[in-house]
Structure formats: C-alpha cells, structure tokens
Structure 1
Amino acid sequence: MNGIRNSVTLIGFLGQDAKVFETSTGKTVTNVSLATNDSYRNKSGDRITTTEWHRCVAWGKLAEIMGELCKKGREVAVRGKLTYNSYEDKNGVQRITPEVVVQEFVLLDRKKMEEAA
C-alpha cells in the first residue's frame, strides 16, 4: 500500500511550453501548467465543463526530457506526488500553493490514437 500513498495521476493539456531552468546548486528543474477538464449536467440538463489548472514540477534528467518534449497544447499524463509550497506575496500575505512533483510522464498523441481505432 505504500506505493499509492500521496500518489497523483493527471491527464490533461499543457497550457504553455515547459519552463526549464537551473537552480543555484546546479540542479535542473522544469515547470509546466496542466489543464484538466471535468464535465457534468446541471439540474436544467445543460452540460457544464470546468477546467482546473495544476502546477507540475520535475527535477534532474526527467526535467531535461520534459523541457524538450512538453509544448503548449500537447496532451500528457503525469504521475507524481502532491506537495505544498509556502511563500510570502508582495503584500506580506502568507500563501500556500499546491504542486505535483512529477515522477513519470507520458506524451499522448490523440491523432495516433484515433488512427489506430
């Protein structure tokens, strides 16, 4: 059961190209924004679609690979763990933001999947 503790799996579309940079200690890190959609019908029967944005971060060799392959609009699946970062904004207010630390990712190519069907 330890393998499923703090485990997050998301499938969605990238909102921008991956941002790759190096920390002051020389570690490579990549940030991506991932949009996931959910839809349901309201009481009136109308289909409502909501979009949630997720900040994802990868480190090391995985960060380098994601930096090369993750481009805006591509569909990806990521698996990782959920963490929370705490910081103080410009007004001195303490903020907490969630992020997914990516451990694995897969590029999903909708065209190839449709051709195979």
Structure 2
Amino acid sequence: MARGVNKVILVGNLGNDPETKYTQGGMAITTLSVATTSVRKDKDGQQIEKTEWHRVKLFGKLGEIAGEYLRKGSQCYIEGRIEYGSYDKDGVKHYTTDIIADEMQMLGGKSEGGGERPQRTAPRQDSAPRRQQPAAQQAPMDDFADDDIPF
C-alpha cells in the first residue's frame, strides 16, 4: 500500500512575537504567525502582492528555542506538516489549519528581526539522521562562544 506525503516548507517573517505555553508535564508549545508573500503581474503588467498567514506550532525543545530567539519581523525557515482540526464554540463549528513544525531555522543577519542572534538550526524532533552540508557550504561561526548555543 502506498503512503501519502504531507510536507510543508515555509520561508517567511513573523507577524508578532512567539507565544509559548507549557503543558502540565512541562513541554513547551510555541505558536508562530508566519507571513509568506508572493508577487505576480496582472493583465496590465502591474505587480500584485499577496500575503498568506500561517499558524505554526512547535513542540518541546524546538518550541523553547523559537520562543527564546525569534521576534516579530524575524525571518525563518519552517519544515513540517499541515494539520486540520475543528472545535465547537457556542454551538458554532470552527475549523483550524496549523503547520506542525519538525524543523526550524532562523534566517537573516544581526540587523534583521530586532535582535542580535547568530543564525542557528534547531534540532529535529525525530530520530531521522540529519543531512550534513559540505564543509565549503557551512557558514563560519567564529563570532560566538559555545555557551551561546541554546541546545
């Protein structure tokens, strides 16, 4: 039997600061509002921008890192899956669409996103092996001490 694929990749900017809550067991759940913008030309040649907003949820250590280091305006790369849900409120059924992230990378330099954070990759939540970049493609990270790494 063939399996389906549910994979989402977003590169966008945060519309507000992350919101982190903790379960009774102490696990972090961080919610991000990520904007992605596409540009196209209409029939008259005018550029039209369309912005889509995505609700992204990060769990555990990944959520803690996002809550600590991301801020409104930060650019980030999110990889995960789409999940649909629903709930009843006052007799009315509401539908939700969330991106459940299993990988997050902070993008941009020191001047972007309102903070002076070096670029980092957060660890994956699963046990799958991580692809290594060739040494020539890895960014030099000589501007911080090992104590600055949040994981």
Q: Aligning the two structures, in what range does the TM-score lie when normalised by the shorter sequence?
A: 0.7 to 0.9
Structure 1 spans left out of the alignment, 5+ residues: 113-117
Residue 111 of structure 1, CA deviation: 6.8
Q: Indicate the structure with greater strand content.
A: 1
Aligned residues: 110
Distance in 2, Cα, partners of 1:48 & 1:110 = 28
TM-score scaled to structure 2, two decimals?
0.67
Residue 27 of structure 1, CA deviation: 2.0
Residue 95 of structure 1, CA deviation: 1.3
Q: Does 1:97 align with 2:96?
A: yes
Counterpart of 1:73?
Answer: 73
Distance in 1, Cα, partners of 2:81 & 2:103 = 10
TM-score scaled to structure 1, two decimals?
0.86
Moved over 4 A (4+): none
- Mapping 1:1-117, distance limit 5 Å: 5-89=5-89, 91-109=90-108
Distance in 1, Cα, partners of 2:51 & 2:83 = 21
What code does the residue aligned with 2:75 have? Answer: E
Distance in 2, Cα, partners of 1:39 & 1:104 = 26
Residue 25 of structure 1, CA deviation: 3.7
Structure 2 spans left out of the alignment, 5+ residues: 112-151
Q: Please report the RMSD computed on the Cα atoms of aligned residues, expressed in angstroms.
A: 2.0
Residue 28 of structure 1, CA deviation: 1.2
Q: Deviations over 1:27-58 (max 9, x none)?
A: 21000000000110011111000000000001
For the pair shown, which has the larger CA radius of gyration, 1 or 2? 2
